[in-house]
């Protein structure tokens, strides 16, 4: 498991977290290359189904990165996303996944170093948890279909 590199999906708000990711790149800050960023107009678009689908498709960890609380471009989007993320954490726990595999973070577009820090810390967390158990069932289903 020492060579395990997790697949991490980051759902990022277009106005804040995606800007922070872009700034991190512009500043040449290093963060793990295994982060798959999906840009959303707002984290308020995140649903439990979308988060669960990321795990179903092979993600070992998923995080939602939105605007700072009280600073959402769409007023309440990040406040809508937080309870959805928490609800989904309960759902994944019920199916046998660790709730630590899912998280929500808040940042502004000017927080490139914060984006890189979150990416590094979340990757380390997922590495410690190991591969998602869903990955095994997914690869078995793929072999069966072939």
CA distances from 70 to 47, 64, 76, 89 (A): 20, 17, 8, 23
What CATH number does domain 8-145 carry, 3.40.50, 1.10.3470, 1.10.8, 1.10.150?
3.40.50
For 96-138, write each residue's pLDDT tens digit.
999 999 999 999 999 999 999 999 999 999 999 999 998 766 5
pTM for the model stands at: 0.90
CA distances from 42 to 13, 17, 48, 56 (A): 5, 10, 15, 22
Q: Whose CA is closest to 62, among 95, 97, 31?
A: 97
- What value does the mean pLDDT take over residues 10-29? 96
**Structure confidence at residue 84 as a pLDDT band (50, 70, 90):** very high
What tokens were used for 5?
């590199």
- Outline where the chain has alpha helix (H): 17-26, 48-56, 77-94, 112-129, 133-145
């Amino acid at each position: 498991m020492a060579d395990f590199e997790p697949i991490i999906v980051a759902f990022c708000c277009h106005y804040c977290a995606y800007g922070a990711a872009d700034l991190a790149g512009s500043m040449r800050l290093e963060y793990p290359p295994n982060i798959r960023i999906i840009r959303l107009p707002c984290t308020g678009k995140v649903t439990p189904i979308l988060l669960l689908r990321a795990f179903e498709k092979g993600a070992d960890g998923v995080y939602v990165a939105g605007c700072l609380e009280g600073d959402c471009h769409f007023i309440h989007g990040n406040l809508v996303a937080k309870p959805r993320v928490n609800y989904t954490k309960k759902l994944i726990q019920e199916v046998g996944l660790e709730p630590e595999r899912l998280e929500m973070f808040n940042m502004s577009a000017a927080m490139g170093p914060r984006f890189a820090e979150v990416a590094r810390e979340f990757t380390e967390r997922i590495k410690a948890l190991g591969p998602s158990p869903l990955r095994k069932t997914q690869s078995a289903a793929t072999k069966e279909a072939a």
